[in-house]
Amino acid sequence: MAPPWTAEDVPEQKGRVAVVTGANTGIGFEVARVLAGRGARVELAVRDPGRGARAAAAIVAAIPRAQVTVQHLDLASLDSVRSAAAELRSRHPRIDLLVNNAGVMYVPRSTTRDGFELQLGVNHLGHFALTGLLLEAMLGVPGSRVVTVASNAHRLRAGTDFEDVRSERAYDRVAAYGRSKLANLLFTYELQRRLTAARAPTIALAAHPGSARTELMRHTPAPLRLLAGLIAPLVFQSAAMGALPVLRAATDPAAYGGQYFGPSGPAQIRGHPVVVRSSRRSYDLELQRRLWAISEEATGVTYPV
């Protein structure tokens, strides 16, 4: 049996450019820290530049040679996504890695600046637009990857009513989060199919952190937060451990397009990263294509593949 995959298995990243969304804290910060430690030039794409600057300073303090810069990105605004993508392309004619990590969870009903339900808007539509706008900088780069962070929640009450992108018919915060995480997987698999058809060197993969202690939990209803606090030692793992499936998807030379990584333990809650399976619905080809068309219409972004 092969030994557990750890951060020590991340290969040398010198010369690679990585963009990590939501990299000022939690999973994104840990991913950025490890990539920078292996020599990658890392862009911390964050909503709050001040927090991003503090995160960058923390990485450089621990790794003096680290090349880390901060890019303002508000995934709840398509104008901000377009502006950030243009700035990133101007600085980096080639991009090796895009990690779509940022997200919101269980927020009360609210909308993005463009009027979309916030969880679907940030977790999926914002990243759909960002990926489409950056993809041309990746398509000619051997070994380039798009890694999107999903969640076990894609199995729980995850509806498929993607036409109701504004949640005008009904809103349930748990179901809305599940829907957004299902969208992350549908997007990944459809993107990989298009990349394969185009014979592009870029691949698309997904990963999930299991149950990790991060700020993402801050909007969880109070009873669930109390329960989580009681069972935390048994269920939750650190952000550093939660980042390992993402890092493996992003850097393992043996990984290939369309794979999904998650923790190896029971119910994929904690443990070292391995290839896992997502829900049956996530592999539905018709649902993948329908979501893609809806996403193009909602964002106004079309892909070069």
pLDDT at 280: 95
Q: How confident is the model at residue 302 (pLDDT cuts 50, 70, 90)?
A: very high
Name the residue among 55, 21, 246 with its Cα closest to residue 134. Answer: 21
pLDDT tens-digit series, residues 96-124: 999 999 999 999 999 999 999 999 999 99
- Identify the bridge partners of residue 100 per DSSP, sorted by sequence position: 148
- Identify the bridge partners of residue 173 per DSSP, sorted by sequence position: none
pLDDT tens-digit series, residues 188-242: 999 999 999 999 999 999 999 999 866 555 545 655 555 555 455 557 899 999 9
Q: How many CB atoms lie within 10 A of CB 239?
A: 20
Q: Does the active-site annotation cover 189?
A: no
Distance of alpha carbon 51 from alpha carbon 135, whole angstroms: 27
8-299 topology per CATH: Rossmann fold (3.40.50)
| CA 62 from centre of chain | 24
Q: Name the phi and psi angles at 268, rounded to 5.
A: 55, 35
Residue extents of the structural domains in the chain: 8-299
Cβ neighbours for 189, distance < 8 A, ≥ 6 positions apart: 204, 258, 282, 283, 288
| CA 194 from centre of chain | 19
Q: Which two tokens stand for residue 139?
A: 């398509």
Q: Which two tokens stand for residue 220?
A: 């969880």
Give the DSSP H/E element, type plus range, for residue 87: helix 78-91
> Would you say 257 and 194 are in contact if contact means Cβ atoms under 8 Å apart?
no
Distance of alpha carbon 260 from alpha carbon 129, whole angstroms: 21
pLDDT tens-digit series, residues 77-91: 999 999 999 999 999
> Would you say 152 and 208 are in contact if contact means Cβ atoms under 8 Å apart?
yes
- Bridging pattern class, strands 273-275 and 260-263: antiparallel
Active-site position among 177, 189, 260, 303: 177
Q: How many CB atoms lie within 10 A of CB 228?
A: 15
Q: Which two tokens stand for residue 145?
A: 């990857």
pLDDT tens-digit series, residues 124-145: 999 999 999 999 999 999 999 9
User: pTM of this prediction?
Assistant: 0.94
Q: Is 269 left (phi over 0), alpha (psi -120 to 50) or beta?
A: alpha
Name the residue among 173, 176, 183, 175 with its Cα closest to residue 157. Answer: 175
**What DSSP line would sit under 158-222, residue for residue?**
----TT-TT--S---HHHHHHHHHHHHHHHHHHHHHHHHHTT-S-EEEEE---SB-SGGGGGS-H
